[in-house]
Amino acid sequence: MTRALQVGGRLLPAGLALALAAGLGLTGCSPSTKEAVQQTGEAVGQATKEGAGAMGEAAKTAATTAGQAALAPAVGPVLDLLKKGEAEVKAGNLAAAVTTMGGFQSMWEKAGPVIQPLAGDKWPAIDTAAKAAISTFGGGAKPDATAAGSAITGLMGPLSALMGK
């Protein structure tokens, strides 16, 4: 990123100087010289835009990576619990899945507040899916395999997407 800043930092002043010199010198130039100066100015302008775009993409990538790193300690254990519950449902051991998912609500009460500010516009879908999982497995509920699987995968999807998986 430092290299991109150095290159971008040189392009802008060079482009401005070139444009200024072109504007001052165009009055007595031939049409072909004017065209060459204009094309050079356009090329410098394009290079400046591309440099700025690359720096913007690098910043966006860095922010996404930092956000995912901040989310990992909260989302990781939740995904692990969901994966365990899903494996138990798929293996036909619904009682074990209900027991495993019985700890979901207390885990979510700790993880949810950490995830919410970092989830942005994905939060409503995550929150809805978490509430569905809590209602499916909470309070001594006895869901069937379809409801249990849907509640688990319904939350795994948005949480995995949030983590970029």
- Tens of pLDDT, residue by residue over 108-153, are 999 999 999 999 999 999 999 999 999 999 888 899 999 999 999 9
- Tens of pLDDT, residue by residue over 18-41, are 444 444 444 455 555 556 545 555
Say if residue 55 is in the same domain as residue 75. no
pLDDT at 23: 46
Cα 45 from chain centroid (whole Å):
30
Say if residue 48 is in the same domain as residue 128. no
Nearest to 104 by CA among 75, 86, 71, 82: 82
Please check whether residue 136 is in contact with residue 147, taking contact to mean a CB–CB distance below 8 angstroms: yes
* 11: pLDDT strictly greater than 50: no
- Total domains, the chain: 2
Domain containing 94 equals 70-162
Say if residue 107 is in the same domain as residue 123. yes
* 13: pLDDT strictly greater than 90: no
Q: What CA dihedral angle connects 4, 9, 15 and 17, to 10 degrees? A: -160
Specify the pTM. 0.60
Say if residue 38 is in the same domain as residue 87. no
- Tens of pLDDT, residue by residue over 53-88, are 555 666 555 555 556 677 888 899 999 999 999 999
Say if residue 54 is in the same domain as residue 74. no
pLDDT at 6: 44
